[in-house]
Amino acid sequence: MIKKRLSRIYKKLYSSFGKQRWWPGDTKLEVIIGAVLTQNTAWPNVEKSISNLKKAGKISFKKLSKERMSGIARLIKPAGYFNIKAKRLKNVLRFIAESYNSSLSLMQKADGASLREELLGINGVGPETADSILLYAFGKPIFVIDSYTTRILSRLKILSQDVSYEDAQKLFMDNLPKDVRLFNEYHALIVKLGKDYCRKNNPRCQECPIRDEH
């Protein structure tokens, strides 16, 4: 019974790791910026970039929109891929300006499913980035999938390793209550598990808190 299994795994992760307090970010804009900067990048490097942006006073829709691309690239350098990410941030800002009158509170009122499609239309925003923005910036009940999720679930023989993003997401959303707090915490706990126990060259599966689920 997949519903019970997913719920049991969640409880085990939560009781071993506790609340994760995601997303680390003070404002919606900061969460959105972090979602782009963390693409294929370790979080500490994102934090350095966010800190640079803060020190420069650029975590503001107006200020960041006015900033030149080379200026953004310079500030976000520690996150890697700084040229392409500067462009992606610009693309996101332009979308918000054109479709939501530069208003994140107006964007907040949008329907989750249609906003998801709009976000996916931005060059530089794929499914994980879009869903991270929806869940963690806007509190929409959408489950975020990442490489840890499919890796761990394939080890548990719940999914095959090459499952599509959409199918993995459907598994969670069809078998869990659509609860924002649950989706928020579950994804964060999976990332914690992946980082600490299931990393590629560091599989400490013997000490893994869901070892008995294998």
Q: Out of 13, 22, 96, 152, point to the residue binding DNA (CB under 7 A).
A: 22
Least CB distance from residue 112 to DNA, whole Å?
Answer: 16
By the 10 Å C-beta count (0-12 exposed, 13-18 middle, 19+ buried), 212 is classed as exposed
| Count of residues touching DNA (by CB under 7 A) | 42
- In this structure, the chain runs to a length of 214
Least CB distance from residue 1 to DNA, whole Å?
Answer: 29
**How many Cβ atoms are within 10 Å of 114's Cβ, its own excluded?**
9
Residue 39 · residue 48 · CB < 8 Å: no
Residue by residue, DSSP assigns 87-124 as: HHHHHHHHHHHHHHTT-HHHHHTS-HHHHHHHHHTSTT
* Contact letters for DNA, residues 24-43 (x by CB under 7 A): x---------xx--xxxxxx
158-187: contacts with DNA (CB under 7 A): none
| Residue number, 42 or 156, with CB nearest to DNA | 42
Question: Euclidean distance between the first and final Cα of the chain, in Å?
Answer: 15
63-82: contacts with DNA (CB under 7 A): 77-78, 80-82
Give counts: helices (H), strands (E), the chain: 12, 2
Q: Which stretch binds DNA (CB under 7 A): 10-18, 44-52, 93-101, 171-179?
A: 44-52
Binding site for DNA (CB under 7 A): 22-24, 34-35, 38-45, 48, 77-78, 80-85, 122-130, 132, 136, 146-148, 191, 194-195, 199-201
